[in-house]
Structure 1
Amino acid sequence: MKTILKLFTMLFCVVSFAQTTIKGKITDNTGLPLPGANIVVVGTSSGTVSDFDGNYSLTVDQDPPFTIRVTYTGFQEQTVEVTTNGQTVDVTLVEGNELDEVVISASRTPERIFESPVTVERFGLKEIKNTASVDFYDGLENLKGVDINTNSLTFKSINTRGFATFANTRFMQLVDGMDNSAPALNFPLGNLLGMTETDVLSVELLPGAASALYGANAFNGILFMRSKNPFDHQGISGYIKRGITSQEAAGDNDYTDLGIRMAFKFNDKFAAKVNFGYLKGTDWFAVNEEDKLNRGLTRADIDYDGINVYGDEVSTDINGVAQTLESLGLAPSGSSALVPSVNVSRTGYNERDLTNYNAESIKADWGLYFRPWENDFEIQYVGKIGSGNTIYQGANRYNIKNFFLQQHKLEIRNDNFFVRGYVTEDKAGDSYDMVFTGININRAWKDDNTWFGEYVGTYIGATLGGATNDAAHAAARAQADTGRFLPGSPEFQSAFNQSINDPDLSTGSKFQDNSKIYHGDANYNFGDMIEFAEVQVGGSYRRYRLNSFGTIYTDVDGPINYSEVGFYTQLQRSLELSDNVDLKLTGSLRYDKSELFDGFFSPRLSAGFTINENHNIRASYQTGFRNPTTQDLYIGLDVGRAILVGGAFDNPERDLRTYNAADGDLSAFAVNNIFGGQQSITINAAGAYNNSFFANSVLNGFAQTGNPADLEIANSNLAQPEQVSSFELGYRGKLDGIIIDASAYYNKYQDFLANETVISPFYGDVQLTETLPNGTPLAVAAIANGDFEAYQTYTNSDEDVNSYGAAIQVSAKVFGGFDLSANYTYAKLDFDVTENPDFRTNFNTPEHKVKASFGKTELFKNFGFNVAWRWSDNFFWEASFGDGDVPAYHVIDAQVNFRIPSLKSTIKAGATNLLQDEYFTAFGTGLIGSQYYVSLTINNL
């Protein structure tokens, strides 16, 4: 027994001797503690982070002497040698500048932002804590070159360098390497499946083309969000924000946003974390009743179609109705001559009657992290779910209700490589189209034929009775609207519930979806193996499974599947040209192939000159390509005034629709003279691409003159991949304490993907070779009799589409430590709109933007503030929902914060749109009001 005790004692002594513990405090050069600083033993993965008070304690299985490295975002790193066990190592970090921050996105490898080969913006922990916006995602709007289009309170679309709607398919958003676009929509729903604020480690934004490294969708820019690893950031942290949203149309409404993060490192091999976030508020009411088609009409006009009024999209020429009634003996002989050939629309419902404007977001994620050899080799499993309610504006306005997204990722990585695979799945929940809800509540009460028949019959009677034209129209609408379901009535509510639960757009407005994306990618960095350059290789594979049950896509017969694959390589080398000049060269090449199209190569070349360590000049040539999106390819959606039909080679024939004479879809002329008495016909959408006129030539040409020579053949091309060549020149530097970052670019697009609005006749050819016995072309007769369908096609432009712009930011410490920053962005479209009136580029960005911020993290002990101001020039918005001017606006956001070290907490009070000047960033949305809030953040390391 004594021998065993001796051996045990000896072993204990050995183990004790091998353990070294150090402790200390990390502060800045003003003495303030730095929570969340990283302390790592150089050459190992052993490390820890400082707590809220800057204190840390680190125990390692290593004898002194060894060296620790201390890092904190925005500060210069320090290394300190540890010489004895139990040593107290206090470290004071000196605040760096924006040029010292490290980014990963620009080259897929860590590098100082100062040396990045292309433009990149960074939003780190310091910026997140000090943002004057209500949350970190909104705070990105203050970065130079960045636009945020506000769709609703909980859905905001980020974009750079133009060409974006809310369906921003040219911009990619990655969260820990996962594309969080909704599979059915092919673009991200803001931060719905994003991150809780306390788990954000850093946000990087890469404007411009980046297909050489990131593939087909990295066309106009990428947003990278990285979360905190539980090995490095442990503990429980959380926040709660309470306040109000204030809007003239909606009044004052409660706003709540809360989140919690729990992370624990069980040992050097295993760690885990869980995040939960919840937001609830009232969305911005959309109450614009101006004429959607920019004709200057009001509700007093007979063919009114209001921007946020739905149901009035149903419109027809009442003279044609009168002729049908007369031919059926339902109107006196010759009475159709009394009815003018004018369009009349049904009476619509306000958007506020078709939604409760409930804005809600619920999201959670969890991760298991395993380091089997206690080094940088790590296996991760991450799961994410998100659900909520929001408003989305696409071709129509949609109430996204109980929408559900989930992602699951498995990743193996170390400092030199990663291999990951993930799946993204969405479910539409109880979402519905508010435009068709209004249309079909009307139809549930009284079908279109009956309503227009009553309207015309009353108009004829009033006219015969001596009424004026205006009085006859007023009497006709009053009669046709008799008994109409009024909002709030049981009949209205019953018809509303029936519509939003019916996916057939002829009778309902619900849309269904359960689509998926399967994605895998890998990267290996040979930097430790190859001396002459840092070499990376990688690749990706993606498979789409579209399953909307025929409500969005042409997948009535079952899911649509297709896939894409890509491979890339990058070489990067730094050369010392002289004592004062370094040159960094980067070359990348990627090959991508969709099973639907030929493959594409995307090269990128860049050079960065560093002069005197304070000045860097960069130049790059990048190419990008974009495969047509899921909607570009396979959409088949009736949005009222047109049918959206995708441009995949097999899609137009998949879109089959039946047209009935009884519903007014076919004229009596067509039934009797073309279709041999058939009362209904079934037609596919192929005519949109092979037998169509430009809508502008029909509506603004032929309709005015009656001259067939004014009809212009469209025959849109099927969709093909889009390409861009981008040239960029930039400068980053420091001049007497002033940080300058400037860039200019020129983008040249080839086969630019966008929409054309066309009209396809049900009979006759658009070359006008098929004629009636009297010589009238059949296609002209079809247009004249209303026997046609309007389509919005997805196609490529034969014309040159170019854009160019520039941005500059100046930052400095002023007045003894205050942070002052200002930036200016210029963006310009180079495209001849007058020569291509039917082609929509959707540039949708102001020509000029100016932003500025002013604040100080430590105005006095534990107290800081920040004020942000931004101004946007007026611009013209165009999208499938509608076109219109967006007036110039300016906004001021502000916040003050107070740290309570004893409680490891920060209290923050803030306001957005402080001046209460309501504005909007896109045609058709609600005016953006103000938000006022108070937040409490606890232990956010």
Structure 2
Amino acid sequence: MRIYHLFVTLLFCAVTFAQTTITGSVKDSKNEPIPGANVKVAGESAAAVTDADGKFTLKTSKKPPFTLEISSIGFATQKVQVTSASQKVDAVLQNEDTRLDEIVISASRTPERIRESPVTIERMTVKDIKRSASPTFYDGLENLKEVHMNTSSMSFKSINTRGFATVANTRFMQLVDGMDNSSPLLNFVLGNLIGISEIDVQSVELLPGASSALYGANAFNGILFMTSKSPFTSQGVSAYVKYGQTSQRAAGTNEYADYGVRVAHAFNKNFAAKANFSFMTGTDWFATDYRDIDLVNNVGLDRSFHNYNGINVYGDEASTNLRGVATGLLNAGAITPAQFSVFQQILPNYNVSRTGYNEVDLTDNKVKNAKVDFSLHFKPWGDDNEIIWQSKFGFGNTVYQGANRYYLNGFFMQQHKLEFKGKNYFVRGYFTTEDGGNSYDMLFTGLNVNRQWKSDAQWFGQYAGAYVQSTLAGATPAQAHAAARGVADTGRLIPGTPEFQAAFNRVIADPNVLTGSRLVDDSKLYHSDANYNFKDLVKFAEIQVGGSFRMYELNSLGRIYTDKGTDILYREYGIYTQIQKKFMDDRLKFTGSIRYDKSQNFDGDYSPRLSLVYSAGEQRNHNFRASFQTGFRNPTTQDQYIGFNVGSAVLLGSAPDNLDRYTETLPITSASGQAIVGGTSTTINGNNAYFNSYTAASAAQFAALAGTDPVAASALLRRANVSLVQPETVKAFELGYRGQIKNLSYDITGYYNIYNDFIGNVNVVTPLYGVAQDAPNPLAGPTDTGAQSIDALATGNTRVFQLYTNTGVEVRSLGFGAGFNYRLPKNFEFSANYNFAEFDYDQDQDPGFEAGFNTPKHRVKASISNDNLFKNFGFSISGRWNTGYRWESTFVDGWIDEATVFDAQINYNIPKLKSVLKIGATNILGNEYQQVLGAGFIGSQYFASLTINP
């Protein structure tokens, strides 16, 4: 009972304090209201934000007289004296046509004008969100300079800055109110699935370059900061609703809806609270790329190809050598030795694949995303010191593309944070946990639905028998293949039938890769960090210190990681310091930072950063910057602890304890192999993969020649010398110039990065017996270990692994970017930016290495807008274009064509309802385009929205 009374006292103690309530309005020089202007009591935390009509209500415990500070981006700050509690404030702000005075925080972990930022920084404000023609503010980030999106699903977009990113962009960090919202299991950001609601966004800042010196090893190629509104300054009930349609040739026209509500209230100067809820639902872009997955060597192959493996077709990964099928039939007693001889003469010495299922048959293609968050804010002393408890929840359905395509079905992720912060410090701790729900791997769904109605051995046996019979009857090879597939497919489950659905349901509920496809995940991340700024204690320079600690608790129940029977715990920490000092009448600003990071499996390392910013001109509107920093990226938990069978290969991490923990017992399918191992099966572990394998390229060359010239084929074999993965490093150089001439502001950037020990993947083929070696002798006796490995390769007794390692090749990237914004007469505003990006390395030094740059060389973006075209009406039109580029990933390699996209919107302010009506459309030309090879082509989206602000 006492606790109840204490809570009620804290919650409603406002009634015991006398308060001053000030009302008023904020307008520009043309007598137009300014929404979103900040109104603050000087020297106090009490503040308010103007509504759509430019009006505000501010409550403070301070009695007049006091001073109000009124500010808004693009306007000069004004101070107003309040002399009585009944005074009505009507402020008029004068235009200040410079973006150089906008305040940013992320670049140096301290508030500074954007002109003084030591590195490139991009920013999205509430005003930018209002004028965006994108369906969500997160989609609108694509219009920022330096940003290139990788779209895996309509609700899952991954930000790519300065290259080297797939959907799983582990080189990019995203912080929401200081919390890293990457997946504990997968180590990369899941778009905005557990991010921030559009009506709760205060600001978005993007650092596109390396930021390891202040933010640690994961901020290797960029970092995004999303900050929500405070319930002390942004109160009341806000809501939005969007409804529209998506249009795609493959999916047709489908409905789309998105709505949300925000409730915030400051009960008094000491306590405030807020809650957000948003929900989006729609139909995803259908993925219907049915080209053969080997696009480089087999361009144009279709379903008539006997070993077809379609990009968005699953189950056809089950493939085997037809001539080898005869051996299996003989060993099983299904054919006689005489029949075996006939089979060997007729069956071709190449692979055939099972008939697969299209992706659209293995998912309902529905996307859903619900986000819930609430926070309690305490200011015990009524000043800048604040205690915050925040909880965030995100759940829904979407498609993620990694080594395979995965349907995240009922995926659930939550974060909880406790933070203490003040004028010069913060201390926070949070944890993230996730649940895979009913998520499943589409490749294994296709494989195991097939096996529900007929085993692989039975299917291939029937195929081989029918092929022989057709050939003996006079059929051509093409006719024999068609007849054989028809016989083997007898009894195939047809999508849409109850039998298919029953088999499908059994498979996606089963986590065993031999029979099912469910993804199991109950992983957690624990993180704490702190920062202190000594600027009020040390006067000669601004000095900061800080640090962080992180622990992963991986638990996939052995489905993805080698954590069957026990969770994997992995820890890392870092500490840093920064000094800033101004010289030459505060025109020259020096920033020096250094950070030390250590993870449990690797030696610690330092990340320094040095930068200079010089402000020239009478108004200091010409700002030159130069920076250099080194950074490093620790291998992710995937790189170290994964042990994931994806069908065509096993993804295997290289932590030493992981190699011992990963084991697999595999059948030996040849009599010669059974004689060598002394049985019908053998057990291998991760050490075999890393230290007893052949390169995939040489194994492929061997297979092509082994049937005709085994001696020459064996001479081509090369042992794979794969090192255990180590941290990746970068040296980053950047030059930039920001300036303003009257109504024109511009920003020019150039960068050059040198990567060493670049982390990547390499495929190897591991013989199940024998010793891998360069050019083994096939004529040696059966006791020779090299000859034994040749026999394993020749009889298909192998396991393919995809290993995580570093390339010894130095990788370089360079880029150039230029953006400008011009304020035209009559409230028109035009902006445009251009980016050039490319990379370079010597492929001959490491032929098997793929850099995965996945970034267009040229990108152009432009927009024109007017927030007040005429009374209460505004509009914007934006366009972007990029050149085609090569896509490289563990799922598929190939070419993505150039794209031209236009978006547009008109909006209407309804002052009496304090609301904004918007009608918009994306990709209005209807030219469907792709950003991720294997994902669906992106069509058009049309929507109407109504946003209500207090």
TM-score tier (shorter): over 0.9
Q: Supply the distance in 2 between the matched residues of 1:843 and 1:60 (Cα, whole angstroms).
A: 53
How far is 1:697 from its partner? 2.1
Paired residue secondary structure (2:656): coil
Q: Which residue type is aligned with residue 756 of structure 2? A: Q
Q: Does 1:615 align with 2:622?
A: yes
How far is 1:91 from its partner? 1.4
In structure 2, what is the equivalent of residue 791 of structure 1?
Answer: 801
Q: Which residue type is aligned with residue 511 of structure 1? A: L
Task: Please give the per-residue CA displacement for 1:442-466, whole angstroms capped at 9, x wherever unaligned.
Answer: 1111111111111111111222222
Q: Choose the corresponding residue for 1:315, options 315, 319, 324.
A: 319
Greater CA deviation, 270-279 or 779-788?
779-788
In structure 2, what is the equivalent of residue 671 of structure 1?
Answer: 674
Paired residue secondary structure (1:535): strand
Distance 1:299 1:702, change over 3 A: closer
Greater CA deviation, 632-641 or 815-824?
815-824
Q: Supply the distance in 1 between the matched residues of 2:163 and 2:179 (Cα, whole angstroms).
A: 24
Q: Supply the distance in 1 between the matched residues of 2:574 and 2:552 (Cα, whole angstroms).
A: 15
Q: Which residue type is aligned with residue 670 of structure 2? A: S
The answer (yes or no) to whether the contact 2:717–2:773 under 8 Å persists in 1 is no
Q: Supply the distance in 2 between the matched residues of 1:126 and 1:834 (Cα, whole angstroms).
A: 50
Q: Supply the distance in 2 between the matched residues of 1:592 and 1:141 (Cα, whole angstroms).
A: 31
Task: Please give the per-residue CA displacement for 1:274-327, whole angstroms capped at 9, x wherever unaligned.
Answer: 000000000000011111111131101100000101100111110111133245
Q: Which residue type is aligned with residue 569 of structure 1? A: T
The answer (yes or no) to whether the contact 1:702–1:711 under 8 Å persists in 2 is no
Task: Please give the per-residue CA displacement for 1:832-876, whole angstroms capped at 9, x wherever unaligned.
Answer: 235433112211111110000011000001000000100011000
Q: Does 1:499 align with 2:501?
A: no
Identity %: 54
In structure 2, what is the equivalent of residue 270 of structure 1?
Answer: 271
Q: Supply the distance in 2 between the matched residues of 1:446 and 1:875 (Cα, whole angstroms).
A: 41
Paired residue secondary structure (1:304): coil
Q: Supply the distance in 2 between the matched residues of 1:813 and 1:876 (Cα, whole angstroms).
A: 37
In structure 2, what is the equivalent of residue 191 of structure 1?
Answer: 192
The equivalences for 1:819-830 within 5 A come to: 819-830=829-840
Greater CA deviation, 722-731 or 837-846?
837-846
The answer (yes or no) to whether the contact 1:400–1:430 under 8 Å persists in 2 is yes
Q: Which residue type is aligned with residue 436 of structure 1? A: F
Q: Supply the distance in 2 between the matched residues of 1:101 and 1:401 (Cα, whole angstroms).
A: 41
Greater CA deviation, 48-57 or 174-183?
48-57
Stretches of structure 1 that go unaligned for 5 or more consecutive residues are 1-14
Greater CA deviation, 721-730 or 813-822?
813-822
Q: Does 1:410 align with 2:418?
A: yes
TM-score using structure 1 length: 0.95
The answer (yes or no) to whether the contact 1:803–1:827 under 8 Å persists in 2 is yes
In structure 1, what is the equivalent of residue 591 of structure 2?
Answer: 586
Q: Supply the distance in 1 between the matched residues of 2:528 and 2:18 (Cα, whole angstroms).
A: 43
How far is 1:671 from its partner? 1.1
Greater CA deviation, 837-846 or 858-867?
837-846
Q: Does 1:460 align with 2:465?
A: no
Q: Supply the distance in 2 between the matched residues of 1:642 and 1:204 (Cα, whole angstroms).
A: 39
Distance 1:798 1:362, change over 3 A: same
The equivalences for 1:93-108 within 5 A come to: 93-96=93-96, 97-108=98-109
Q: Supply the distance in 1 between the matched residues of 2:892 and 2:154 (Cα, whole angstroms).
A: 20
Q: Supply the distance in 2 between the matched residues of 1:57 and 1:441 (Cα, whole angstroms).
A: 62
Q: Supply the distance in 2 between the matched residues of 1:17 and 1:488 (Cα, whole angstroms).
A: 66
Distance 1:454 1:130, change over 3 A: same
Q: Which residue type is aligned with residue 857 of structure 1? A: D
Greater CA deviation, 164-173 or 755-764?
755-764
In structure 2, what is the equivalent of residue 763 of structure 1?
Answer: 769
Q: Does 1:447 align with 2:446?
A: no
Q: Supply the distance in 2 between the matched residues of 1:727 and 1:529 (Cα, whole angstroms).
A: 33
Greater CA deviation, 678-687 or 29-38?
29-38
Moved over 6 A (4+): 15-19
Q: Which residue type is aligned with residue 424 of structure 1? A: T
Q: Which residue type is aligned with residue 236 of structure 1? A: V
Q: Which residue type is aligned with residue 334 of structure 2? A: L
Paired residue secondary structure (2:519): coil
Paired residue secondary structure (2:677): coil
In structure 2, what is the equivalent of residue 867 of structure 1?
Answer: 877
Greater CA deviation, 332-341 or 787-796?
332-341
In structure 1, what is the equivalent of residue 697 of structure 2?
Answer: 696
Q: Supply the distance in 1 between the matched residues of 2:761 and 2:78 (Cα, whole angstroms).
A: 55
How far is 1:817 from its partner? 2.6
| RMSD of equivalent CA atoms | 1.8
Q: Supply the distance in 1 between the matched residues of 2:507 and 2:328 (Cα, whole angstroms).
A: 29
Q: Choose the corresponding residue for 1:426, options 412, 434, 457.
A: 434
Greater CA deviation, 518-527 or 44-53?
44-53
Q: Does 1:640 align with 2:655?
A: no
In structure 2, what is the equivalent of residue 398 of structure 1?
Answer: 406
Q: Does 1:897 align with 2:907?
A: yes
Q: Supply the distance in 2 between the matched residues of 1:62 and 1:489 (Cα, whole angstroms).
A: 72
TM-score using structure 2 length: 0.94
Task: Please give the per-residue CA displacement for 1:90-146, whole angstroms capped at 9, x wherever unaligned.
Answer: 212233332221111000001111110000000011101110111100000000110
Q: Choose the corresponding residue for 2:308, options 301, 304, 308.
A: 304
Paired residue secondary structure (2:843): coil
Distance 1:62 1:329, change over 3 A: closer
Distance 1:16 1:234, change over 3 A: closer
How far is 1:701 from its partner? 5.8
The answer (yes or no) to whether the contact 1:688–1:716 under 8 Å persists in 2 is no
Task: Please give the per-residue CA displacement for 1:51-93, whole angstroms capped at 9, x wherever unaligned.
Answer: 3322234454545543221122333322233345533332122
The answer (yes or no) to whether the contact 1:757–1:839 under 8 Å persists in 2 is no
Q: Does 1:681 align with 2:682?
A: yes
In structure 2, what is the equivalent of residue 8 of structure 1?
Answer: none
Q: Supply the distance in 2 between the matched residues of 1:84 and 1:397 (Cα, whole angstroms).
A: 65
Task: Please give the per-residue CA displacement for 1:237-277, whole angstroms capped at 9, x wherever unaligned.
Answer: 01000000111111111100001000000000000000000
Task: Please give the per-residue CA displacement for 1:509-539, whole angstroms capped at 9, x wherever unaligned.
Answer: 0010100000000000111111011110000
The answer (yes or no) to whether the contact 1:117–1:607 under 8 Å persists in 2 is yes
Q: Which residue type is aligned with residue 863 of structure 1? A: F
Q: Does 1:24 align with 2:11?
A: no
The answer (yes or no) to whether the contact 1:18–1:63 under 8 Å persists in 2 is no
Distance 1:818 1:243, change over 3 A: same
Q: Choose the corresponding residue for 1:808, options 801, 805, 818.
A: 818
Q: Which residue type is aligned with residue 325 of structure 1? A: L
How far is 1:704 from its partner? 4.0
The equivalences for 1:16-415 within 5 A come to: 22-62=22-62, 64-96=64-96, 97-294=98-295, 295-296=298-299, 297-331=301-335, 332-335=339-342, 336-415=344-423
Aligned residue pair count: 917
